[in-house]
Amino acid sequence: MTLTILGCYSATPRTFNNPTAQLLETKKHLFLIDCGEGTQVALRKSKVKFARVKQVYISHLHGDHFYGLIGLISTFQLLGREAELHIYGPVGIKEIILLQLKLGKARTSFPLYFHELSSTTSEVLFEDESITVKTIPLNHRVYTNGFLFKEKAGDRKLDITKAEALHIDKSYYRKLKAGADVVNKKGKTIANSEVTFPPEPPTSYAYCSDTVYSPEIVPLIQGVSALYHEATFLKQHLHLCEKTKHSTAKQAAAIAKAAQVGKLILGHYSTRYNGLEDFKTEAQTVFPNTELADDYKVFQF
Amino acid sequence: MTLTILGCYSATPRTFNNPTAQLLETKKHLFLIDCGEGTQVALRKSKVKFARVKQVYISHLHGDHFYGLIGLISTFQLLGREAELHIYGPVGIKEIILLQLKLGKARTSFPLYFHELSSTTSEVLFEDESITVKTIPLNHRVYTNGFLFKEKAGDRKLDITKAEALHIDKSYYRKLKAGADVVNKKGKTIANSEVTFPPEPPTSYAYCSDTVYSPEIVPLIQGVSALYHEATFLKQHLHLCEKTKHSTAKQAAAIAKAAQVGKLILGHYSTRYNGLEDFKTEAQTVFPNTELADDYKVFQF
């Protein structure tokens, strides 16, 4: 997976800091996660082909996570987009978008689908042969979901030389890759494990923003390849977390450690701090494999 | 008056072009005119003190003229603004803003007033001792107003040396500045014109975007110091004007000429063209004192 940070600062867009938006590229998809004001400009700067984005996931209805969505949809329309677009987000997102399109007497030139969310338990939002997308219920001042993107295990890998040596007919190769045993040309049953290897372990990504420290999400995100977790504050402002329903860098690291994730990526920094290094330092006391998100930074995992 | 162009391109924000927003500074006020996506970032780049903006005028409900308003209001709130804010714009603007604040469970920390417009004849929106703001009904695909900002004539200027020589008591100076005749210490009536000069002619600014060519606005904007008129197209695309309800640069110039304005400022360029010089050249064949708006450009008049 390739994750491009389009914006990772909290609260308000500033001269050089974008509010939250991310692009997640998987084998078959390009997902947009959150869409703060100015996201369409950040997409242009990242030279992304707009038509490739077919699904947008909105975590919650605070402005720094969705004020850019109506502008993006309007731009899609002005560009004559034809591909369908699916919006996943809290109840209310449809009313906000459609009201603005209606008052502007605009009709979209492409099919626009809203999938409004209200469940407080994890649910599957999208699934195909390559990936499953699930909600991660979070605890913030308004109804909020994180999102879990989990690629499916691929086919088993076939040792063709060995399969030939064992006189297996080529028409059985597909069955072998799917994990089945087969009978060879001489009538002998060949165990699948004799001619195949397990596939690469599937990659997964969990996006968790915004949220107060919530250990209850740990089972859901157990062992993900990468976790993006909000870290609005440093520990000196821990007392603000409960009131504002945000986390510190150290709390994000505690979640990463408990869930045994591959890599922790921090973001959603409060703009009150000068520089980001303290976020990394504080988190690494608990979870060493921590990296800092920053606008236009790219992560591969 | 000082006019700062925060954005002047049509349709969609691009990497280096902002959609429409302008700041008009008069003796006593700082008016924000239209507020496309990203306007709050443009305001920051212009180093404007946000609290000084107390009135926002929205011409119409197409995204490139108002999608930045909700973000600006949210930012005002996050900054703990206390000063009141007045929004003037078409019916619907209040519903759009309040719906988004409600779904984000946000309450503004400052008094927020909406003045929704639906009249198709010119009306006065704001008036104090220094200025009058009026609508200029325009003809676009949706209900649209331009705005006329007209400073009031100041006091007459007093020739103090002459007033002293004519034995006028100082307590009458105010009356003289207001234009009245007075009686001097010797009981003689002194004509106002003997001791005062006329004030500077009042400055005025007309903002007209978006609109198809509409000569009916000429009487309303007659003799303004500066006219900003949209020029979405060059003459080669004149055939698109009627359908899209936009103007060419030459049509903008025809309006400027008929209204005998001091200066014409063009803007709202379609992003289909490379460079802006042709807009100026075409307009100047009709109205020589034409200038091009561009993002962050400042005009004084």
**What token pair was written down for A253?**
């690291």
Instruction: Indicate left, alpha or beta for A189 from its phi (over 0: left) and psi (-120 to 50: alpha).
Output: beta
Instruction: Using a CB–CB cutoff of 8 Å, tell me whether B271 touches chain A.
Output: no
The Cα–Cα gap between A178 and A156 comes to 6
Q: Angle of helix A69-78 relative to helix A93-103, nearest 10 degrees?
A: 50
The pLDDT confidence band at residue A16, using thresholds 50, 70 and 90, is confident
pLDDT per residue as tens digits for the range A258-289: 999 999 999 999 989 988 999 999 999 999 99
pLDDT of residue B16: 75
pLDDT per residue as tens digits for the range A203-251: 999 999 999 999 999 999 999 999 999 999 999 999 999 999 999 999 9
End-to-end CA distance of chain B: 6
- Residue B243, classified by CB atoms within 10 Å of its CB into exposed (0-12), middle (13-18) or buried (19+), is exposed
The pLDDT confidence band at residue A109, using thresholds 50, 70 and 90, is confident
Does residue A39 contact residue B41 with C-beta atoms inside 8 Å?
A: no
Q: Do B13 and A41 touch (CB under 8 A)?
A: yes
The conformation of residue B201, written as its DSSP 8-state character, comes to P
Is pLDDT of B50 > 80?
A: yes
The pLDDT confidence band at residue A1, using thresholds 50, 70 and 90, is very high
The Cα–Cα gap between A161 and A195 comes to 9
**What token pair was written down for A75?**
């731009």
Does residue B68 contact residue B89 with C-beta atoms inside 8 Å?
A: no
Instruction: Using a CB–CB cutoff of 8 Å, tell me whether B62 touches chain A.
Output: yes
List Cβ neighbours of A49 (8 Å cut-off, separation of 6 or more): none
The pLDDT confidence band at residue A12, using thresholds 50, 70 and 90, is confident
In chain B, the percentage of residues whose pLDDT exceeds 90 is 91
Q: Do B63 and A100 touch (CB under 8 A)?
A: yes
Q: Which domains does chain B have, with CATH numbers?
A: 2-154+200-300 (3.60.15.10), 157-197 (no CATH)
Q: Do B71 and A37 touch (CB under 8 A)?
A: yes
Does residue A244 contact residue A225 with C-beta atoms inside 8 Å?
A: no
Residue numbers of B annotated as active site: 64
The pLDDT confidence band at residue B49, using thresholds 50, 70 and 90, is confident
Does residue A93 contact residue A119 with C-beta atoms inside 8 Å?
A: no
Backbone angles phi and psi of B219, in degrees to 5: -60, -35
How many Å is the maximal CA-CA distance in chain B?
74
Scored b (16 or more CB within 10 A) or e, B176-202 reads bbeeeebeeeeeeebebeebbeeeeee
Instruction: Using a CB–CB cutoff of 8 Å, tell me whether B14 touches chain A.
Output: yes
pTM (2 d.p.): 0.90
Instruction: Please state whether the peptide bond connecting residue A34 to the residue before it is cis, i.e. omega within 30 degrees of 0.
Output: no
The Cα–Cα gap between B170 and B184 comes to 10
pLDDT of residue B184: 96
Q: Do A141 and B11 touch (CB under 8 A)?
A: no
Which chain B residues touch A41 with a CB distance below 8 Å?
13-15, 38
Q: Do B71 and A71 touch (CB under 8 A)?
A: no
**What token pair was written down for A142?**
């308004």
**Closest Cα partner for A40 from B92, B68, B70?**
B68
Backbone angles phi and psi of A152, in degrees to 5: -85, 150
Scored b (16 or more CB within 10 A) or e, B99-124 reads bbbebbebebebebebeebeeeebee
The Cα–Cα gap between B123 and B145 comes to 10
pLDDT per residue as tens digits for the range A163-182: 999 999 999 999 999 999 99
Instruction: Using a CB–CB cutoff of 8 Å, tell me whether B15 touches chain A.
Output: yes
Which chain B residues touch A142 with a CB distance below 8 Å?
103-105
* Residue type at B68 in one-letter notation: G
Which chain A residues touch B79 with a CB distance below 8 Å?
12
List Cβ neighbours of B148 (8 Å cut-off, separation of 6 or more): B122, B132, B133, B134, B135, B136, B204, B205, B206, B207, B220, B221, B224
Provide the shortest C-alpha distance from residue B241 to chain A (in Å).
16
Which chain B residues touch A71 with a CB distance below 8 Å?
12-13, 37, 63, 67
- A-interface mutation test, from B6, B16, B37, most A Cβ less than 10 A away: B37
Of A78, A96, A142, the CB nearest to B11: A78
Interface of B with A in 97-126 (CB under 8 A): 99-100, 103-105
Q: Do B12 and A37 touch (CB under 8 A)?
A: no
Mean of pLDDT over chain A? 96
pLDDT of residue A98: 97
- In total, the C-beta contacts within 8 angstroms joining chain A to chain B are 100
B-chain residue closest to A36, CA distance: B71
pLDDT of residue A14: 75
Q: Do B100 and A96 touch (CB under 8 A)?
A: yes
Q: Do A12 and B40 touch (CB under 8 A)?
A: yes
The Cα–Cα gap between B133 and B32 comes to 12
Residue numbers of A annotated as active site: 64
Instruction: Using a CB–CB cutoff of 8 Å, tell me whether A45 touches chain B.
Output: yes
pLDDT per residue as tens digits for the range B157-187: 999 999 999 999 999 999 999 999 999 999 9
In chain B, the percentage of residues whose pLDDT exceeds 70 is 100
Is pLDDT of A15 > 80?
A: no
pLDDT per residue as tens digits for the range B176-215: 999 999 999 999 999 999 999 999 889 999 999 999 999 9
> What is the DSSP pairing of strand A196-197 with strand A263-267?
unpaired
The Cα–Cα gap between A231 and A283 comes to 9
pLDDT of residue A5: 97
Q: Do B74 and A68 touch (CB under 8 A)?
A: no
List Cβ neighbours of B191 (8 Å cut-off, separation of 6 or more): B181
Mean of pLDDT over chain B? 96
Of B37, B96, B104, the CB nearest to A37: B37
Q: Do B71 and A63 touch (CB under 8 A)?
A: yes
Which chain B residues touch A90 with a CB distance below 8 Å?
103
Of B15, B70, B100, the CB nearest to A41: B15
The Cα–Cα gap between B5 and B292 comes to 10
The Cα–Cα gap between B280 and B264 comes to 10
How many Å is the maximal CA-CA distance in chain A?
74
Is pLDDT of A13 > 80?
A: no
- A-interface mutation test, from B9, B67, B144, most A Cβ less than 10 A away: B67
Is pLDDT of B15 > 80?
A: no
**What token pair was written down for B140?**
């676009």
Per-residue pLDDT, averaged over B244-251, amounts to 98
The Cα–Cα gap between A286 and A73 comes to 41
Does residue A230 contact residue A267 with C-beta atoms inside 8 Å?
A: yes
**How many Cβ atoms sit within 10 Å of the Cβ of residue A242?**
10
Q: Do B96 and A100 touch (CB under 8 A)?
A: yes
**Closest Cα partner for B85 from B60, B115, B124, B43?**
B115
